[in-house]
Amino acid sequence: METLCDPFGRQIRYLRISVTDRCNLRCLYCLPEGGVRWLPREEILRFEEILEVVRVGASLGLTRVRLTGGEPLVREGLVDFVQMLRAIPQLADLSLTTNGMFLARYATALARAGLTRVNISLDTLKPERFHAITRFGAIEDVQAGIDAALDAGLHPVKLNVVVMRGINDDEIVELGRLAFDRPLHVRFIELMPIGEYFSRERLVPSEEILARLSALGRLQPTETPMGCGPARAYAWPGARGSVGIIGAVTQAFCAQCNRLRLTATGQLRPCLDDESAVDLLPALRPVVDHERLAQLIRDAVAAKPEQHTMARREAGRPRLCMAGVGG
């Protein structure tokens, strides 16, 4: 099997796929309150087209796939699509990032279809604050989704917390406490300079997050739960889960980056933070050209930058919001 290697010696094995631009929430740091214009259906890749991208990518060395959005569970037929992907023998890991609102409904079916694990967004434990951050959501739905994911065996269940000063940073300790009694892996993520909501004042550096978590006891470095993600993982002695710190701004993980991102419209982005992309549509429509598709994937890998620009943007003007092209 071919190995995809970028100009800086990193082996590229991970593909994030945005299966839809649509979302049922309007989180403060992701979408404007009035939402955005959703793309026409004909501009969104069909599942069969995405499947061909993954098949070719797998033949080149991709072994891990994550489904994102928007919110992937708003797209009809996702469970059947998971089953299609699971049939690709080279895939060692098939995961999903979700806001959790519909997860209680689909967790069992997703597990039976072959989904390996889930990441669930949970920025607060307070119902009124949850509604304020998401603008539409009810925390009870997410809590039911977490329970369903654990019951379905979608391990490890990771909870993604975007930390915002003055919004939810007072809950860092309580959110971390979730990792004590249940096999949950709580990942604290620095607010990224994306969209109009970002400000330097709202950014809580990863070292400050880690210091606050130490109020629960001495944290010990541990192995990152399955997924080879960017989090630095820690655990308390006797805890059933762990916590992770993703310092995308202050402690970039670019040197270990092994991923590409496919947008819902067929743009393959070498860097999750960069809007430059290789257009796969000419190799997918009107008919699939497997050789051309393989070369375009190689082109995207060859164009992968050494590092993202978040740290520089943190001090200046944030980039436009990426809502609708992946999460």
Please state whether the peptide bond connecting residue 70 to the residue before it is cis, i.e. omega within 30 degrees of 0.
Answer: yes
Say whether pLDDT at 315 is over 50: no
At residue 225, the pLDDT reads: 76
Q: Identify the band that residue 228 occupies on the pLDDT scale cut at 50, 70 and 90.
A: low
Task: Give the whole-angstrom CA distance, residue 69 versus residue 75.
Answer: 9
Report the C-alpha gap between 81 and 110 in whole angstroms: 10
Contact 306, 8 (CB under 8 A): yes
pLDDT at 159 over 80: yes
CA 235 to chain centre: 22
- In residues, how long is the chain? 327
Can you say how many angstroms the Cα of residue 149 is from the centroid of all Cα atoms in its chain? 17
- 323 within 8 A of 263, measured Cβ to Cβ: no
CATH class of the domain comprising 14-157+256-314: alpha beta
Average pLDDT, the chain: 91
Q: Which of 10, 3, 1 is nearest to 259 (CA)?
A: 10
DSSP state of 241: S
Is the pLDDT at 310 greater than 70? The verdict is no
Residue 189 has pLDDT above 50, yes or no: yes
pLDDT band at 226 (very low <50, low <70, confident <90, very high): low
For the segment 234-257, the average pLDDT, to the nearest whole number, is 89
State the pLDDT at residue 84: 98
* Secondary structure E strands in 26-92: 64-68
Which residue do the tokens 């909870």 mark?
Answer: 159
Which H/E stretch holds residue 96? strand 93-98
**Residues ≥6 apart with Cβ < 8 Å to 6:** 12, 270, 301, 302, 304
Structure tokens at 162: 């975007």
Question: What 3-state class would DSSP assign to 207?
Answer: helix
pTM listed for this prediction: 0.92
Residue spans per domain, the chain? 14-157+256-314
The values of phi and psi at residue 313, to 5°, are: -70, -25
